[in-house]
């Protein structure tokens, strides 16, 4: 009834989830938490956004019936536990997260469109897929979330999701739409990392 | 199978969502956030409560398959971005929010009853519909939520939802039940705004 | 289609929910909140974990179509409101919570397996059932959650859920699996209470 074909090659999909899960486990490691807490953070960051998307569009939650996703998140937590934190403190992880953000925002939009969600909510599903895992991670850790920081994070997800929605709406081939939307989202997030770009903030309450 | 007829005239429904969304966007504006963050807050505050209700009762999430709700929330965020905050600082918004609270609490209860939820859980679904969007907004913003403040907010939602559930249980006509329940919830919330009424607090741990 | 037989005798199930609900109501009481807030905390703590589990596995949410669960949570909030807090400050409640944690972690795993969830995600569903209500309670109250404390809480849930999953995988009779898994989880949590045991924490960022 609904499309069963995977939207990404399964191995690539697991790599993306593992990157997000690693950012979660490392937040817990920096807070000097236990292995069990690191596992919980790895899982919620890796699958949180996609879980909310699937609940909202009425799809079976992608990782619950899957034999590989949860073990991958557990393995990532173990890796983060046994390796020195400084291995992960370079910019590589940040750039990997930028790529994961762009890929998952496009994936979320494409999946929502495949489930007959209209374009504007489908774009929002893409943003949710890319960002919500990290937002829950930050709320649980009691730190300011990506949502509340001016750097271009949610914005890069929104760009990727919008281009994915627009490309499908005007009839571009899906493969081309994927490439363009991921490239644009990744480029914007990368520019934000490299040049510390941020959006302008609201001026707040009017000065007296 | 399940009732497809709308419970509120669609235009009125959108006005209610827009009011809630505006309160969310303004919280983000006061915190000097970016336009993207304001949009996220507008959306979660506008549709958060109804989304949780629909997930819990097993209904399709109301705004995901709808072409109008998400664009309305985006438009509200834009409006909040381009207008001075002081336009919205009078009591008008607070009173509009009070009306929205009463209407959505009744709507949530009525929808749950229409989906064969028993009376007590159905009343709780009404309270969730009215209050949860604002609670998520406050948790994300890191500020004390309406849930933790003594003012009569959740209580007014509970009154409206209880009267809606009671009216349907004793067989009042639906139209009359709507009017009575909304009027009572709005009157209680309005009295709380006007006279700064609050519930008594628990005395806390026993004095030594 | 799916197993309709209850996994626990209904009365025992309600006792477990009531214990969790009481811990939620007492957190609100210590924070000197109102009766309405105490009710909200009782409900979210009592049914939060099981609700998330049911949403994730695609089951109808257990308390929404049930006539007894929501009234029990309301009754518990009323009991917490009218009795002195010191009645509940002994260790009895902590031990009752330890038993509830073990029972619900096993119950969540068993229910997920009955819904054809593979073993590893099913074990995670058990942990979610046991712990998530308390985590949401703590986030709403703005206090450090059980997730972030080193004491063996989530770990005890994980032990009970793992043994339940392992027992079913190797073909132990369900009754024996129940007893062994609950006993092990309760014993570990009890040992943690009695001897203040905790997991080792991550060493944090590397020393310079």
pLDDT tens for residues C4-17? 445 666 777 788 89
Q: Is residue A203 part of a domain?
A: no
| Among candidates A33, A35, A64 on the partner chain, residue whose Cβ is nearest the Cβ of C121 | A64
Count Cβ atoms below 10 Å from residue B203 Cβ, excluding itself: 12
Q: What is the pLDDT of residue C123?
A: 95
**Banded pLDDT at B203 (limits 50, 70, 90):** confident
Averaged confidence pLDDT in chain B: 87
Pair of tokens at residue C124: 């995670």
Residues of A in contact with B47 (CB under 8 A): none
Torsion of CA C14, C20, C23, C24, to 10 degrees: -100
Q: Is residue C4 part of a domain?
A: no
Number of domains forming the structure of chain C: 1
Q: Is the pLDDT of residue B207 over 60?
A: no
Q: Is residue B180 part of a domain?
A: yes
The larger pLDDT score, comparing residue B181 to residue B30, is at B181
**CA–centroid distance for B21 within its chain:** 10
Tell me the mean pLDDT in the region C89-102.
Answer: 83
Q: What is the pLDDT of residue A4?
A: 45
Pair of tokens at residue B182: 């909304």
All residue ranges of chain A with pLDDT < 50 are 1, 4-5, 208
**Banded pLDDT at B21 (limits 50, 70, 90):** very high
The most confident of the ranges A91-95, B21-25, B193-197 is B21-25
Contact assignment for B37 to A118 by CB distance below 8 Å: no
Q: Is residue B206 part of a domain?
A: no
**Structural domain boundaries, residue B42:** 10-195
- Spatial separation of the C-alpha atoms in residues A63 and A61, rounded to whole Å: 6
- Do the Cβ atoms of C126 and C164 come closer than 8 Å? yes
Residues of B in contact with C47 (CB under 8 A): none
Q: Which residue, A76, A157, A73, A77, is CA-closest to A123?
A: A157
Burial of C208 (0-12, 13-18, 19+ CB in 10 A): exposed
Task: Give the best residue of B121, B130, B140 to mutate against chain C (max C CB count within 10 A).
Answer: B121
Q: Is residue B187 part of a domain?
A: yes
Task: Give the best residue of C54, C121, C141 to mutate against chain A (max A CB count within 10 A).
Answer: C121
- Spatial separation of the C-alpha atoms in residues A144 and B97, rounded to whole Å: 27
Pair of tokens at residue B111: 């929808």
Q: Is the pLDDT of residue B3 over 90?
A: no
Tokens 């009323």 map to which residue? C78
> How many helices (H) and strands (E) are present in chain B, helices listed first?
7, 0
Q: What percent of chain C has pLDDT over 70?
A: 93
Q: What is the pLDDT of residue C203?
A: 72
Q: What is the pLDDT of residue C4?
A: 45
Tell me the mean pLDDT in the region B83-108.
Answer: 85
Q: Give ipTM to 2 decimals.
A: 0.90
Pair of tokens at residue C82: 């009218």
The larger pLDDT score, comparing residue B86 to residue A7, is at B86
DSSP 8-state symbol, C206: P
Q: Is residue B2 part of a domain?
A: no
Q: What percent of chain B has pLDDT over 70?
A: 93
Q: What percent of chain A has pLDDT over 70?
A: 93
**Banded pLDDT at B76 (limits 50, 70, 90):** very high
Residues 6 or more apart in contact with residue B115 via CB below 8 angstroms: B2, B57, B58, B59
Q: Is residue B117 part of a domain?
A: yes
Contact assignment for C64 to B116 by CB distance below 8 Å: no
Neighbours of chain B (3+ CB pairs under 8 A): A, C
The interaxial angle of helices B91-114 and B35-57, nearest 10 deg, is 30
Alpha helices in chain B (DSSP H): 10-30, 35-57, 69-82, 91-114, 119-141, 154-169, 174-195
pLDDT in tens, B167-184: 999 999 999 999 999 999
Q: Is residue A5 part of a domain?
A: no
Q: How many residues does chain C have?
A: 208
Q: Which residue, A135, C164, C129, C95, is CA-closest to B136?
A: A135
């Amino acid at each position: 009834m609904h499309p069963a074909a995977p939207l990404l090659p399964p191995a690539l999909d697991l790599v993306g989830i593992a990157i997000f899960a690693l950012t979660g486990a490392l937040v817990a490691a920096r807070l000097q938490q236990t292995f069990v807490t690191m596992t919980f953070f790895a899982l919620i960051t890796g699958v949180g956004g996609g879980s909310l998307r699937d609940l909202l569009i009425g799809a079976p939650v992608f990782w619950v019936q899957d034999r590989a996703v949860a073990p991958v998140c557990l393995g990532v937590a173990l890796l983060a536990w046994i390796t020195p934190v400084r291995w992960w403190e370079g910019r590589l992880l940040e750039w990997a997260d930028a790529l994961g953000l762009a890929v998952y925002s496009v994936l979320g939009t494409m999946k929502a469109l495949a489930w007959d969600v209209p374009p504007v909510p489908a774009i929002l599903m893409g943003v949710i897929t890319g960002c919500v895992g990290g937002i829950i991670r930050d709320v649980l850790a009691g730190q300011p979330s990506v949502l509340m920081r001016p750097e271009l994070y949610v914005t890069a997800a929104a760009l990727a999701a919008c281009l994915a929605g627009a490309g499908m709406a005007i009839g571009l081939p899906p493969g081309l739409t994927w490439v363009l939307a991921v490239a644009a989202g990744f480029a914007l997030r990368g520019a934000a990392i490299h040049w510390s770009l941020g959006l302008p903030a609201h001026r707040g309450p009017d000065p007296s």
